[in-house]
Amino acid sequence: MASVHVNGWNTKKFLADEGKGNWKGRLSSLTEMLPYFAASCHNLYLESSYRYLQDMFQLKEQHPAVNNAFMSGSQVVRRSDKFWAGLSTNLVIEQVLTRSVKYVGAMTRGRGMTAAQRAQWLLSMPACVEINSAVQCFTN
């Protein structure tokens, strides 16, 4: 992924709002970044961010329960009770969940997955979801 230089204040504000689980602040700071994406000719960032913001600003009317959950900070994943410990879901997927198939002794061992390995991994997901749900219920 190419690096995008955005106004430093906007980037810091976005990351701070993300870490704190501040939904309104996150949308606000991303909105403030749009002109910088346009000015630096990062058209894919501009288009995807604009479409994302359109969907998220309609969330209150279209999916009020999801909007309420996001307003309470549920749009980030927290692995601890620390105030700044919120992680974006993309980061968690990339760094935590994907790691389960890439560590030494796991399915890929750094060379990719065969069709059989992908099938085994996908077929094991229902069991993993069930275990995850049980742990979530147990830990409240």
Mean per-residue pLDDT over the chain, rounded = 76
**The length of the chain, given as a count of residues:** 140
Has residue 81 got a pLDDT over 80?
A: no
Nearest to 76 by CA among 17, 137, 1: 17
Each domain of the chain, given as residue ranges in start order, spans 8-101, 113-140
Tens of pLDDT, residue by residue over 42-69, are 899 899 999 989 998 998 999 999 888 8
| 7/79 Cα distance (integer angstroms) | 29
Residue 125: per-residue pLDDT: 76
